[in-house]
Structure formats: structure tokens, C-alpha cells
Structure 1
Amino acid sequence: MPAVVVTNHGGDVPDFEGKITIYVIICVFIAAFGGLMFGYDIGISGGVTSMDDFLKKFFMNVYEKKKHVHENNYCKYNDALLQLFTSSLYIAALLASFVASRLCTKMGRKPTMQIASIFFMVGVGLQAGGINIVMIVCGRIMLGIGVGFANQAVPLFLSELAPAKMRGALNICFQLFITIGILAAGIINYFTSKVHPHGWRISLGLAIVPAVILLIGSFAICETPTSLIERKNLDEGKATLKKIRGTEDVIPEFESIVAASEMARQVKNPFSKLMKPSSRPPLIIAILLQVFQQFTGINAIMFYAPVLFQTVGFGSNASLLSTVITGLVNVFSTLVSIYTVDWAGRRILLLEACVQMFLTQTVVGLILLIDLKTTGSLNHVEAVIVVVLVCIFVMGFAWSWGPLGWLIPSETFPLETRTAGFAFAVSSNMLFTFIIAQAFLSMLCHMRAGIFFFFAAWILVMGLFTLFFVPETKGVPIDSMVEKVWKQHWFWKRYMVDADDEEIKEQVHPHVK
């Protein structure tokens, strides 16, 4: 395989040699199953909560409202416990991400992924074998811990494993596998919905497959050189770096990682370091990207796509089939991001998608506002138009805010605050995923078509934020972001002056805190 030489056009940043080896591809493929676990759960929960057998066992009042001929279209699924079934996972993942941050630093990225898969398998067992609401919610919580650990470790693993020139494409494999998981869940739900009365158990139980693959496969992959060097395993770190780069000439990159690790070791409390002004640029962007990612409305659509399509007039099976269609769009659009992110850059994908998502959310809102009353449904043509617009919306999200919401935070923190900073990113994602999952059905009931205008307004805000405050990071080595990105940005560079002052003070007065 020809070498892919990693080059950068910044003056004082060294060029690191490297190529994408077969071993790296295997490592990326196995680790990305952590994303497939997450995606499968996103896709499966919405389908299961629309299955009559599941509702009759755990949510009889929702089942009765659903079957009531004259029930309000926008409110028939509005139930706090039903929303808790979906959203409890995310509050557990939020808390777990901070524990996972510590483990990533102390034990490494690989063991954290292994622990994630174990928690996930326990959660699957509790859900698939659930006999009451307490049992399945406990299962959701265990799944949430697994998701929190996996979402903390996998993007960091992929970013640290990849050479700078290919970092975007390899990291986006995490999001690609999330979309594959969502698609697989949609297909499985379509068939298991016809298996009575335990089709929902099959849907939930099959979530164990990606967790088992991640656990078993993790024994065949390496730890990242950065994690090894950070934990003072220098010889193993250098050997691993040679293995994944496919070259003996790794001294410049090795020395860069060693220097970053030495700086990281001087920081005794990375969470305290994150509160300093010099850490604000990557922290603010990491958190806001997660908030904005959720307020595009994507998870509202992915969680409740079967519910949404039933609301606009599709039958139960037709709505599940429509979910499969959006899942296919999601997967293939993520592939677009893999091929474009490292040459077009991050910003252009984010900005283009904001325009696309704003227009589709607005038009869907207008159609529902004008033609979907509290009872009845849209006519067939309008319902098909809504599905097409949802697909266009998903398309824009899948090649931009979906993958880049994970990529940018995983590549912009310096090593001394990387796991702590990314924990804030993961926890912010889980917090706002929880908020949307818990609130969406109630919002749909009270806001009706206005919910789409609500999300469109947020998309406008995030587009403006991206335009002015999100820097371009393509091709920059992961340990050179401060010099090449933050100190060069028109706004964020003012915070980097504080970083220089802090460094000078520590050199002149090393014992003064």
C-alpha cells in the first residue's frame, strides 16, 4: 500500500511520515463497533416503543390512547414513563463519561472500550428479559454506562491512532457505524414487529452482537501510542507507532507525543486546568457542538421516526419501512463526509448543512402547520413529501454535524486536558440527548408543528456560531492545535495570551501556584 505522507502547511509544525496500514484499518473497524452499539440503541428504541406488544406489556395507557380513533395526532404518544424508557440511558451515560475519562487516562483507551462492552451486554440482558418497567429501565441504565464509556474512548482512540492527514476520515468511522447501527435497527424492527408477542425482545436482544464483537475484537487491537507514552511505556509506544504508521521513521512524531506527555504529566488536575482561560476555546466549542448537534432535532427524528411517520399518516409497518429508508440515507451520506472532510475541511461541511437543515425543518413545519390537524392525517402526496424532506434533512446532518460533533472535540484538546475535555463533550451530548428524548413527545403534543420551527431557529444560531467561532482543523497534527489553530484564530487567540503568561510564570517561579 503506498505511503500517505502526512504534511502540514504551518511553518514550524514538523511533517510526520505515515501510511494507512491494514492493521490500522482492522483497529478502526473493531473500535468503531462502539459506535454501532450506540447507533443500534438509538434506532431500536423508537421502533420498539411503537410496537403494540411492547406497549401492551409496559405502557397500556399509551396503547389505549394510540388505538383511540379520535385521539389527538400530536399527543397520542405523550407519556412520561415511555419517554423515560428512551432517555434514562443518556443520563446514565452522562455520569459514566466522567468515570470513563479517568479510566482512559489511567488504564488506556482499549480497556475502557472493553469495560463499555461488558456493561452494554448486561444492559441488553436486562432489557431483552425484562418482565416489568423497573427491569427494563435498569437495563437502559446499564446500557447508558456502556455508551458513556464507549463514546468517551472510541473517538479518542481513532483520533490518536490516525495520521493527521487522514484523521477526519478515520474518526468519522465512529459516526458511520452509528448510522449503520441505526439502519440495522430499523430493518430488524420492520421484521420483528410482525413476530408476536415477543418481537420486541428480539429487537432489544440483538443489541448484544456489536458489544460481543467489540469485546472479543478488542483483544486483537493495540493501545494508542499516545496513551502508552502518557503512561510512561515509551518503548512500547514507539514500537506501536512504527507498527501503525508502517515506517521506521517515526522519531519526529514520537518526540512530539513525548513532549506533549511531559506537559500533561505536570498537570495534576486536568479538570482544574480546563477551567483556566487558555482552555476555554476547545472546551466551549466542544460543549456547544454537542448542544447544537442535539438541537438540530436529529435525535428527535431518529428516536421517534416511526411515531412521527405514523403521526403524518403512515401505518405501523409503513412507518417502520420509512425509517429504514432514512437509515439508508444516513449511512450513505456519512460516507460522503469520510471522503470530503480531509480535503474540503470541517467548516464548509458544517455551514452547508445548516442551510440544508434549516430549509427542510422549516418546510416540514409549514406542511404540518397547514394540513395536519389534531385528527386525521396528511394526504398520501404530502406524507411522501414529508418523508423526502426528512431524508434531505438527515442527509445534511449525516455529512456534517453528526460526525464532526465527535471529530472536532476529539482532536482539539491538548493532551493534558484531552480525556477530561472530551468527557465534558460526551456528557454534554448525553445531557442534551436526554433532554430532547425526555421532552420531545411532550413538545410535539404542546407545540405541534411549531416544534420544527423551534429546531430551525436553533440551526440558524449554530450556523452563525460556526461562521464566526469554529476554526478549521484539517491536516493539523493533534498535538499542534494550540500553535496552529487557537493562537491563529481572530477571536480565540486572546485566550492563548494567558497560556503564554502561565507558562512564563511556571518557568520563572516553578514553586508558585
Structure 2
Amino acid sequence: MAGGFVAPTGAQGQNYKAKMTTFVLITCIVSATGGLIFGYDIGVSGGVTSMDPFLKKFFPKVFRKMKEAHQNQYCKFDSQLLTTFTSSLYIAGLIASFFASAVTRMFGRKPSMLFGGVSFLIGAAINGAAKDVAMLIIGRILLGVGVGFANQAVPLYLSEMAPPRLRGGLNMCFQLMVTIGILAANLINYGTQKIHGGWGWRVSLALAAVPAGIMTVGALGLPDTPNSMIERGHHDKARNMLQKIRGTHEIEAEYNDLVEASEASKAVKHPFRNILQRQYRPHLVMAIAIPFFQQLTGINVIMFYAPVLFKTIGFASNASLLSAVITGLVNVLATLVSIFSVDKVGRKFLFMEGGVQMFISQIIIAIILGKEFGSNGEGSLGKGIAIVVVILICIYVAAFAWSWGPLGWLVPSEIFPLEIRSAGQSINVSVNLLFTFVIAQAFLPMLCHFKFGLFLFFAGWVLVMSAFVHFLLPETKGIPIEEMPLAWKSHWYWGRFIPEDYRPDVELPKATKA
């Protein structure tokens, strides 16, 4: 691969002593449950917005439009009020992530997870008891605050606790929990829409309290990371914790690197201002580009609105929810593939393979929908064609789930030096939530106007982002977080931004081309 990077063999970080301890495994799994709240919300919102009783109560205009006999298939659900219900969470999460950055930096990763869990609990209660659209949106805003804090803290926590050689797989536990949350929401929606009396949607929305409760209770028992302890001046505790999580007393090399990074961090009083400096240009570009591209894969077209999308292209209500369950299950299984392969084949390989697979499946879906519905959106899918569409969507979801899904959180969380880590992760979360909001708000109008061309639109972006990764992202597999500047220093393009005098005591690896 052009501009590729081979992990250093002579760098100091490669000699860190570290075992895969039971303690680390448990703490990483518990902290990763923060992904459940994000995933549950992604899955539940699309399901309830396809339920007739929910639409009849809160969005009667959409309900009447959906029942019109000759309504354009692409425009059935086009309503700004309906999309505001879904997308309000993400704009709230965007704003909350900036406050979460300060909390994470000053008080540690654990308090951010606790606050996020409590906020999500309150939001779930309000949504379950909602009597009007205003209550729905207030509840969604509180859910967004919870997501903003959890998404800020959890990926950082996982990257800092994990041994370098297993950081990819353990960090991806967050994305695995996101996919489990989506699948759980799809299963619950499939069950609650059968409840007589038309109140099943309340159960779906209120059950968001379950993953929030799991994360909140779990966070109470979590230790903070050695990085955060050192950052806040607790050096003895940090040394003891590092020994515990690495399973060895030989931690001096890693501990000294952490202390050195912390001292550099303390000299930075304004991380958001400093991240604009030239030496952090590669980090800033990735903090913006990766989450931006992640949303423009089109995945949220599937995950937010899977039941709505399937219903739009001719599936009955039960069939649309069942199809969403199938894609949710594929999402979980494919994420497991990524967990077990990312530290073996590397980040760039998964990014590229996933891009090719998503591109091909989106093109074929567009061709099928264009042939069956045409430009006027009238018609329906036959059973055989509908099954083919579901299979293609599953192929697309699988590709995302072992590439841009987990890597979109993993790579940004591992590339930032400690002095800008909270600021960098905050930018990453904010950009992610901003474009999640934009896509959620724009999807239904875009589907109405772009029709089957919407899949071609996202396929074009997949091409762009694959080229970006191929040429501009260095391989970060196996490189300790505190030695990550080595990857940038040896990159064919980004090397010019890293100071020449960076860590002269560490042997810099040479960039190689595969």
C-alpha cells in the first residue's frame, strides 16, 4: 500500500511488558457497555417511527400520507417533525461532548460515564411517559447528553486500559456493544408492535433505561486509567494500577512514558487551541475526516430507518421489523469478525476491504430499486426481489460492521498524544454526532428527492473515503499510544508536520511500501 507503515520493532514501546489479565478484560467489557445506550437508541427510534399507533398519536399527517393508496413510495415518511424526533438526540450529544471533554480531562473517564448513564436514564423515563411531541424531544435531548458523555469517555478508557498488542480488539468491544444495542432494540420493537392497545412503543422507548442502568452501575465499580491518574497527580495509584492491569511489576518503561506524556500535557493550557498547531495537523485532520466519512457511508440510512426503509420499499410492517432484526444480527456477527482480526490484519486492510464491499452492494441496490420503482416511486417489490434487497443490505451492513463502524471509533481514540487527547476525542465525537444529526435530519427528504439515487450518492462517498484511507492513514496496529507519533513521523505525507526533534531517544522506523 502506498505510504504504508510497518510497526516499529526497535522502538521502546514495543518492549512494554503486558499480559492479557482477567482484570483488564472485565473492566473493558464493563466500560464498553457504554456502547449499549448508543446502539439501543439507533435501533429503537427507527422501529417506533414505523409503528402505526406511534405515528397516529404524534405524527398524524405522516400516518395519513402513509395510508394513501397512490403515494410515492420514496416520500411516504417525509416529515421534518418526524426527523426532528430522531435527530434532536444527536445535536444534543454534539453540544454535550464539549462539556464532556472538560469533565474527562479534569476528573477522569469514569465520572463522564456515570453522568452519561444517569442522563440517559432520565431521558428514557421521559420518552416512555411522553404525552406530546415536546416531551418526546426533551427526552431525546437528555438521551443525547448521555450519548455525548459516553462516546467521549468510553473509547478513551478502552484504549488507555488495553495492552498495545490487543488495543484494537478490546477497543472494538465498544462497537460490539453498539451493535448488540441495535439488535436488542430491533428485537424489542418486533415484539412490542404486537402488543394490543397501541402502547407497545412506550415499552420500546422506556426500555432504554436498561442499557443506561447497566452502564451506570458498571461504571461505579470501574477504576480510572493510569493515564488519567497521572494526569491528575495520583502517581502512586497510577503505578499500582498499571502493575495490576499489565499483570507484571516490570512497568517502568511504560510508566515513564506515561509520566513524560503527562508532563507535556500539563504544559498545554488550551488543548483546543493547541490542536490547531502544525505538529497536530495529522491528528486534527483524522479527528474530523474519519467521523465525517463514517456517517457518509450511508449506514445510518439503514440503522436509523431500517424498518421505515424496508416498509418504504414494499415490506409489510411485521416484515420490515423482522428484516431490521436480521440486519442487526449480521451487524453483531460481523463486528466479532473485526474484533478478532483487527490486531492481525491491521486497520487499513479492513478499511479498504469494507469500502469495496459497501460500494458494490450500494450500486446493485440502486439498480434494483431504479428498475422496480423507477423515478416516480410507484410499484412494489416482489417477494424474490425483496429477499435479494435484504441480502444486499446485509452484505453492506457486514462490510461496515468490520470496517468503518468499529474503526471509526478505534483509530481516532488511539492516535492523539495525551496533551490533546480529550480535545481530539471531543472533536471526533462532535463531528460524528453533527453529521449523524445532518444525515438523520436529511435522509427522508433526500430519499423523497434522490429516490434510488440516494444509494449512488453514498456509494460515491465510499469511493472518496477509501482513497483517503489508502493514501493518508498510517497503519497503527500494535503501536503503543504514547509512541504513536512514530507512525506519523514515518508517513510519506504527514512526516513533514512532526518536529524533527521528537523523541530522539527512540529509534524511528522507516516507512515501507507493500
TM-score range, shorter chain: over 0.9
- Counterpart in the other structure of 2:387: 384
* Conserved 8 A contact 1:94-1:427: yes
- Counterpart in the other structure of 1:508: none
Q: Does 1:231 align with 2:232?
A: yes
CA distance in 2, matches of 1:342, 1:330: 20
Q: How far is the alpha carbon of 1:29 from its aligned partner?
A: 1.4
* Conserved 8 A contact 2:230-2:258: yes
- Counterpart in the other structure of 1:273: 274
Q: How far is the alpha carbon of 1:12 from its aligned partner?
A: 4.3
- Counterpart in the other structure of 2:166: 166
* Conserved 8 A contact 2:372-2:379: no
> Which structure 1 residue ranges, 4+ long, deviate > 4 Å from structure 2?
499-503
Q: How far is the alpha carbon of 1:10 from its aligned partner?
A: 3.9
Q: How far is the alpha carbon of 1:105 from its aligned partner?
A: 0.5
The equivalent position to 1:493 in structure 2, one of 492, 495, 501, is 495
Q: Does 1:220 align with 2:221?
A: yes
1:125-140 mapped onto 2 (5 Å cutoff): 125-140=125-140
Shift in alpha-carbon separation, 1:162–1:8, aligned structure 2, 3 A:
farther
Q: How far is the alpha carbon of 1:500 from its aligned partner?
A: 4.5
SS of match in other structure, 1:366: helix
SS of match in other structure, 2:11: coil
* Conserved 8 A contact 2:105-2:422: yes
Shift in alpha-carbon separation, 1:113–1:501, aligned structure 2, 3 A:
closer
CA distance in 1, matches of 2:378, 2:311: 12
Q: Does 1:427 align with 2:427?
A: no
1:79-98 mapped onto 2 (5 Å cutoff): 79-98=79-98
1:23 maps to a residue whose letter is F
CA distance in 2, matches of 1:479, 1:332: 32
1:145-184 mapped onto 2 (5 Å cutoff): 145-184=145-184
C-alpha RMSD over aligned residues = 1.4
CA distance in 2, matches of 1:24, 1:111: 19
Shift in alpha-carbon separation, 1:501–1:259, aligned structure 2, 3 A:
closer
Q: How far is the alpha carbon of 1:301 from its aligned partner?
A: 0.8
Deviations 1:129-171 (A, max 9, x none): 1101001101000000000000000000000000100000000
Deviations 1:114-139 (A, max 9, x none): 00001101111111111010011010
- Counterpart in the other structure of 1:187: 187
1:410 maps to a residue whose letter is S
Q: How far is the alpha carbon of 1:501 from its aligned partner?
A: 9.4
SS of match in other structure, 2:304: helix
Q: How far is the alpha carbon of 1:375 from its aligned partner?
A: 2.1
- Counterpart in the other structure of 1:65: 65
Higher relative contact order (CA 8 A, sep 6+): 2
CA distance in 2, matches of 1:411, 1:367: 40
- Counterpart in the other structure of 1:417: 420
1:17-96 mapped onto 2 (5 Å cutoff): 17-96=17-96
CA distance in 2, matches of 1:69, 1:304: 22
Deviations 1:269-319 (A, max 9, x none): 111110101111011012111011100000111111111111222100001
1:243-258 mapped onto 2 (5 Å cutoff): 243-258=244-259
SS of match in other structure, 1:74: helix
CA distance in 2, matches of 1:143, 1:310: 26
1:260 maps to a residue whose letter is A
CA distance in 2, matches of 1:502, 1:352: 34
* Conserved 8 A contact 1:48-1:200: yes
Q: How far is the alpha carbon of 1:13 from its aligned partner?
A: 3.6
- Counterpart in the other structure of 1:316: 317
1:9-20 mapped onto 2 (5 Å cutoff): 9-20=9-20
Q: How far is the alpha carbon of 1:372 from its aligned partner?
A: 1.6
1:490 maps to a residue whose letter is W
Q: How far is the alpha carbon of 1:21 from its aligned partner?
A: 1.4
* Conserved 8 A contact 1:362-1:453: yes
* Conserved 8 A contact 1:187-1:324: yes
The equivalent position to 2:476 in structure 1, one of 468, 473, 478, is 473
* Conserved 8 A contact 1:286-1:408: no
SS of match in other structure, 2:75: coil
2:29 maps to a residue whose letter is F
Deviations 1:62-92 (A, max 9, x none): 0001111111100010000000000000000
CA distance in 2, matches of 1:218, 1:8: 35
TM-score (norm 2): 0.95
SS of match in other structure, 1:485: helix
CA distance in 1, matches of 2:135, 2:221: 34
* Conserved 8 A contact 1:34-1:113: yes
* Conserved 8 A contact 1:117-1:146: yes
- Counterpart in the other structure of 1:507: none
- Counterpart in the other structure of 2:352: 351
TM-score (norm 1): 0.95
The equivalent position to 1:441 in structure 2, one of 441, 444, 447, is 444
1:229 maps to a residue whose letter is I
CA distance in 1, matches of 2:384, 2:10: 53
* Conserved 8 A contact 1:311-1:377: no
Q: How far is the alpha carbon of 1:210 from its aligned partner?
A: 1.1
1:452-467 mapped onto 2 (5 Å cutoff): 452-467=455-470
Deviations 1:332-364 (A, max 9, x none): 000000011001000000001111000000000
Shift in alpha-carbon separation, 1:501–1:476, aligned structure 2, 3 A:
closer
Stretch of structure 1 that moved more, 436-445 or 378-387: 378-387
* Conserved 8 A contact 1:8-1:15: no
CA distance in 2, matches of 1:276, 1:130: 47
Q: Which runs of 5+ in 1 are unaligned?
A: 1-6, 504-513
CA distance in 2, matches of 1:267, 1:384: 56
* Conserved 8 A contact 1:14-1:252: no
Q: Which runs of 5+ in 2 are unaligned?
A: 1-6, 505-514
Deviations 1:474-499 (A, max 9, x none): 000001111x21100000011113x7
Shift in alpha-carbon separation, 1:501–1:256, aligned structure 2, 3 A:
closer
* Conserved 8 A contact 1:307-1:319: yes
* Conserved 8 A contact 2:13-2:254: no
CA distance in 2, matches of 1:115, 1:330: 28
1:244 maps to a residue whose letter is I
Q: Does 1:404 align with 2:403?
A: no
1:48 maps to a residue whose letter is V
CA distance in 1, matches of 2:11, 2:167: 20
CA distance in 1, matches of 2:230, 2:160: 12
Q: How far is the alpha carbon of 1:221 from its aligned partner?
A: 1.4
Q: How many residues get paired?
A: 495
CA distance in 2, matches of 1:9, 1:50: 54
